[in-house]
Chain A
């Protein structure tokens, strides 16, 4: 739906594209968030425009909405980009004119000025506070390289259902790389009253000298709107209210590290550190290695730090593993520790003294450079198997990586040969490969079909021939002839005939057939056929054969 203001705004746009910027209200309090809308009428942007930094405000993109309206018979398309604007300081927020180029046409918004008043006292005393801390104590100055903890604490007597922290712009500070910030939430009792506390700790490293201003941090919380709806347990499902609180801005003076007292081998570490070292074994054979553990801990950042190299004439070689660095933030205090594992390979037998590891660090508490060092360690080196003559080569290695001078196509192929197997469906080899097995298959199939189609001997003729030569047939053959003739008459296979099946013969033959079957069975088990039985059988068979 298009709001009335947009309709009026769209009136001049009947003939041209236009940009319109408007806000929910022209006056707001510190920490209050209002909606800011950029409306594009009859034009298309490639995406949501991003705002330049506006002093005293934080602007975050929220979404886009499109609508089409018909005004004075003309269809107008509007695209509205919505932003959330949060006031950070009292005074005025001046949103400068935004100029965009759309399809070759330059569109411009009018500047917008919002009045920001100090935040009215919140009921119950909800409050957000921020500070920069070093060693747990608030500070207003620091040295380049020093670790500070930005702490924002928010407390409210109401129950916090949800919270979202928006970090300020850290001018001259960068995030510490080995430890992320953390947000903790707990409840506490102050003067007999319950408070919800949300605390954010962000470890930062001062990176650039000068006077720095840290903009306010913003905490958006969701608290229950009790007393409006619901009663008893149902209050848990009551409405919620969104509140936005901002802290005050902070000033920080970042000082450069002094040049006086800085050695060429300054480690770059800023903070209070302690260093210790130990050997996992005090005896090793020449050529073998023994592990040396070096632990460095303190309240400065150890990101990217590596131990100084061992001199070439030290009498041993050293190989460092990737160190393990752990850091944590507790009550606004940042601490970190790095564990280095260094493999020591002695070059000759005898007593080997590994000198102390010495580092120059800058201590921001005293404002001076200090030396920290571990204890020297002694190692007994025994002769190894086939003691090797070792040479240090790292310092003498003058080689360099081969540099690419140009980019080109891939090189030629020295073994290019014609492909003798380019496929074609008419290729004799392909035809033979496929055709031969299938020819064999279809040949076998054709032979089988031919065998099945071959005409057989007419069973009637065969039976007639058998009857002609059966004048002296024995009982077994007579029984066979009887079954064949009956089977032909009934259209059934002879072996399956029985008395029941014979009952299906025509009336004029059925009785004689049943009698003859009984006589033949009796004669078979009783002792041969007589002339009468043979004559009856042949007669009935001929009759059945003639009947068809």
Chain B
């Protein structure tokens, strides 16, 4: 077992202290101070206090601030962490109605049907538990060769394998081909990085997939497979582990 290093201890300390800004952010949200609530929520998630509920509340305060693209980004991140939450889906549909580009998200078409119902975190921990149980059965088998561990090993091993594959797929999607939300008011997608011709123009709140990242540019793809290069800093990546972009300071009237 790897030793608990300083980084782990610091992470634990960070998580233990992270509840405070989330509470303040919630208090500001309840009080109707949406700009302050958004700022505190962002501070909380960027400090490591990450959860579906916190991203959800961040989305609510951003939505109240009329920061629709940022609210979509927050709720998309919340949906990654809590995919079975119906409120998130409903709020996303509300926010999407206020965007300009009609982009229909493609359905998740995979034989790993459970991916749409479980977050990567749930799948990862389930995979770890099943793998642990499989290892324990291996120990029992070596200590007591006559023990009937074959069928239990099969019942544990198949889910362990499936969950390992789906967790790897989820993490790979988050790392290599993350979803993204256009945060700029208008974003021309070009054929070659900063140069080239404008292939199409997206607007704030449009949801795309990032296929490549080179320098400060990202190759994005639409669900109909059109691709184009855009500046990376005009996008918000749907990876809840990444820092959240700074929300707009002004509050909508």
Q: Are A416 and B128 in contact (CB under 8 A)?
A: no
Asked if B102 is at the interface of the complex by the 8 Å CB criterion, the answer is no
Asked if B67 is at the interface of the complex by the 8 Å CB criterion, the answer is no
Q: Are A433 and B128 in contact (CB under 8 A)?
A: yes
> Contact mask B12-31 → A, CB, 8 Å, 1/0?
00010011001000100110
Q: Are B128 and A428 in contact (CB under 8 A)?
A: no
Count contacts on A: residues with CB < 8 A to the other chain. 34
Count contacts on B: residues with CB < 8 A to the other chain. 54
CA distance A444 to B137 in the complex (A): 12
Q: Are A448 and B142 in contact (CB under 8 A)?
A: yes
CA distance A435 to B2 in the complex (A): 9
Q: Are A419 and B139 in contact (CB under 8 A)?
A: no
CA distance A418 to B241 in the complex (A): 12
Contacts of A425 in B (CB 8 A): 124, 171
CA distance A432 to B124 in the complex (A): 14
Contacts of B244 in A (CB 8 A): none
Which residues from 26 to 80 on chain B have a C-beta closer than 8 Å to any C-beta of chain A? 26, 29-30, 44, 48-54, 56-57, 60-61, 63
Contacts of A435 in B (CB 8 A): 1-2
Contacts A428-B8, A436-B1; A418 near B171 (Cβ below 8 A): no
CA distance A410 to B87 in the complex (A): 6
Q: Are A423 and B120 in contact (CB under 8 A)?
A: yes
CB distance from A178 to the nearest CB of B (A): 41
Asked if B129 is at the interface of the complex by the 8 Å CB criterion, the answer is yes
List the A residue with the shortest CB-CB distance to B41.
Answer: A416
Q: Are B131 and A420 in contact (CB under 8 A)?
A: no
CB distance from A185 to the nearest CB of B (A): 51
Q: Are A422 and B50 in contact (CB under 8 A)?
A: yes
Q: Are A409 and B91 in contact (CB under 8 A)?
A: yes
Asked if A469 is at the interface of the complex by the 8 Å CB criterion, the answer is no
CA distance A418 to B46 in the complex (A): 12
Asked if A437 is at the interface of the complex by the 8 Å CB criterion, the answer is yes
> Contact mask A410-430 → B, CB, 8 Å, 1/0?
111111111111111100101
Q: Are B138 and A438 in contact (CB under 8 A)?
A: yes
Contacts A423-B124, A440-B139; A418 near B1 (Cβ below 8 A): no
Asked if B136 is at the interface of the complex by the 8 Å CB criterion, the answer is yes
Asked if B167 is at the interface of the complex by the 8 Å CB criterion, the answer is yes
Across chains A and B, the number of contacting residue pairs, with CB separation under 8 Å, is: 121
Q: Are A409 and B136 in contact (CB under 8 A)?
A: no
Contacts of B22 in A (CB 8 A): 416-418
Contact of B132 among A414, A415, A434, A444 (CB under 8 A): A434
Q: Are A416 and B125 in contact (CB under 8 A)?
A: no
Contacts of A417 in B (CB 8 A): 19, 22, 51, 53-54
CA distance A436 to B136 in the complex (A): 9
Asked if B143 is at the interface of the complex by the 8 Å CB criterion, the answer is yes
List the A residue with the shortest CB-CB distance to B90.
Answer: A410
CB distance from A415 to the nearest CB of B (A): 7
CB distance from A548 to the nearest CB of B (A): 37
Most buried by B among A408, A431, A438: A438
CA distance A504 to B134 in the complex (A): 52
> Contact mask B141-182 → A, CB, 8 Å, 1/0?
111000000000000000000000001000100000000000
List B residues at the A interface (Cβ < 8 Å).
Answer: 1-2, 4-5, 8, 15, 18-19, 22, 26, 29-30, 44, 48-54, 56-57, 60-61, 63, 81, 87, 90-91, 94-95, 120-125, 128-129, 131-136, 138-139, 141-143, 167, 171, 240-241
Q: Report 19 cross-chain contacts, Cβ distance below 8 Å, ordered by A residue.
A: A408-B94, A409-B91, A416-B53, A418-B48, A418-B50, A421-B121, A422-B50, A422-B241, A423-B122, A424-B124, A431-B2, A433-B132, A434-B131, A436-B1, A436-B135, A437-B136, A438-B131, A438-B138, A444-B142
